[in-house]
Copies of this chain bind each other. A is one copy, B any other.
Amino acid sequence: MRVLGVDPGLTRCGVGVVEGVAGRPLTMLGVGVVRTPADAELGHRLVAIEQGIEQWMDEHKPECVAVERVFSQHNVRTVMGTAQASAIATLCAARRGIPVALHTPSEVKAAVTGSGRADKAQVGAMVTRLLRLDAPPKPADAADALALAICHIWRAPAQNRLQQAVALHASKGRTP
């Protein structure tokens, strides 16, 4: 499975591509950041993010896109920008028929470090180890995007089994 992780943001949108299956060593195919100038107009920033995400999808042809689920506990201004950047990433994937999965920050931290309350340094260290990199990817948004992709690869089998069980239960319910 090849997953594009996206840590959405208007100023820095982290992107990372990881390939692999749960239980096997994972491979990083690429990592980077789509940046837009803070003083540019919102419309121009969103167009730049769309173009950046499209380029990453063109180059890496992911089978799934994992995006950080936006929460409200942050500062309101930041949340708006995050929600808008996440909308663009979700739109780009959906236009290509690529499924989009959302994971919360604590799911991602728990997946890669074992603790939902791990700090940025811990996440960076585990991403470096799990992908056998020489140094933690910089900036943190890039490392977070890789962590999202890893989280998705590891959680997907469980999520699929759950969906299959729900579907089976529903179909049994319909044919008494």
Q: What residues of chain A have their CB less than 8 Å away from a CB belonging to chain B?
A: 41-44, 46-47, 50, 70, 72, 76, 79-80, 83-88, 90-91, 93-95, 99-100, 102
How often does this chain occur in the complex, in copies? 2
Q: How far is the CA of A72 from the CA of B79 in the complex (A)?
A: 10
Q: How far is the CA of A43 from the CA of B97 in the complex (A)?
A: 9
Which of A44, A76, A84, A100: most chain B Cβ within 10 A? Answer: A84
Q: Is B47's CB under 8 angstroms from A91's CB?
A: yes
For residue A70, which residues in chain B have a CB less than 8 angstroms away from its CB? 80
Q: Is A100's CB under 8 angstroms from B47's CB?
A: no
Q: Is A42's CB under 8 angstroms from B88's CB?
A: no
Q: How far is the CA of A94 from the CA of B92 in the complex (A)?
A: 16
For residue A85, which residues in chain B have a CB less than 8 angstroms away from its CB? 87
Partner of A100 from B41, B94, B100 at Cβ < 8 Å: B41
**Chain B residue with Cβ nearest A97:** B43
